[in-house]
Amino acid sequence: MKLQGRISLSVGWITLFLMGTDLFVVSPLLPFISEVYKVSASTTGWMVTVFAVTYAFSAPFFGWLSDIKERRTLITFGLLLFAISNMLTAFSPSFLWLIVSRILAGLSVASITPLIYAIIGDTAPPNRRGTWLSIVVSGHLTALWAGAPIGTLLEHFLGWRSLFVVMAIIGAILAAVNFKTWESIPEKSLKRNLLQGNLLRMLGSVSVTTIWAISMYTLYVYLGAALYSKNKFSSSEIALAVAFYGVGAVLGSLTSGQLTDKF
């Protein structure tokens, strides 16, 4: 693998790890956020719902916009918005502002994650595309067993707000890193008409992702709250349980990438 390929994969992996941490860390923190704002765990779960809905509806728009504008510009914008939204999450004076901050976070991640998938998919060698995509996806899924548990441990020592401050700072740094990294990617290799191809086939492909996401995230979102309320798990015990969940996800991703290229 050439040096530029390694750099691209590394930056993509780290960026998606941060995006995954922002998504996955909310689940084990739900009980503690609920206590601060005096709302139920199910109500606090709306933090994840508004994030997901915003992401789902805005991601196609950013995909279309990236065919007109530079993808690195949109990714950089997304990371700066990510930093702002996480700072707002950390210091929200009320639960309403907390929900607003997660809407902004969903908007920011929608302008980052799909575009990195697209860049990696377009620039990967044709016979290694599955492997390259599985590597960057593993960054997102590694947040399940590493990012989220680290976050819950950080909550144990410094409080849950500190985690969002840390993610905001890292997001701002990655904005500069991504802007520089994707500068070397030829713009002509990234152009693709969103509406090209068979619409039914595209919807069929999306439906697979939809079923996968519902199966995975519906369980995960309330896993931390359930372990806390029903089993009286501590922060460290929740982190350990989530870690095992995430290891399986990463192993599945990396294995499927290799199998895709082979078969």
With vertex at residue 225, the alpha carbon angle to CA 20 and CA 214, rounded to the nearest 5 degrees, is 50
Instruction: Give the residue-averaged pLDDT of 46-66.
Output: 87
Per-residue tokens: 46: 């709306």
Helices marked H in 91-234 — which ranges?
95-110, 113-123, 129-142, 148-158, 160-181, 199-221, 223-231
- Average pLDDT taken over every residue of the chain: 85
Q: Tell me how far apart the alpha carbons of residues 191 and 209 are, in angstroms, rounded to a whole number.
A: 23
Q: Supply the pTM of this predicted model.
A: 0.81
At residue 193 the predicted structure's pLDDT band, cuts being 50, 70 and 90, is: low
The domain tally of the chain equals 1
CA distances from residue 94 to 28, 40, 86, 89, 91 in whole angstroms, order as listed: 20, 14, 15, 10, 9
Domain that holds residue 255: 3-262
CB-CB contact of 116 with 16 (8 Å) = yes
Instruction: Give the residue-averaged pLDDT of 221-234.
Output: 78
Instruction: Give me the pLDDT at residue 238, please.
Output: 76
Tens digits of per-residue pLDDT, 10-20?
Answer: 999 999 999 98
Which of 78-92, 126-140, 160-174 is predicted least confidently?
126-140
What DSSP state is assigned to residue 67? T
Per-residue tokens: 225: 């709250």
Tens digits of per-residue pLDDT, 73-104?
Answer: 899 999 999 999 999 999 999 999 999 999 99
CATH of the domain at 71: 1.20.1250.20
Most confident of 42-46, 55-59, 94-98, 199-203: 94-98
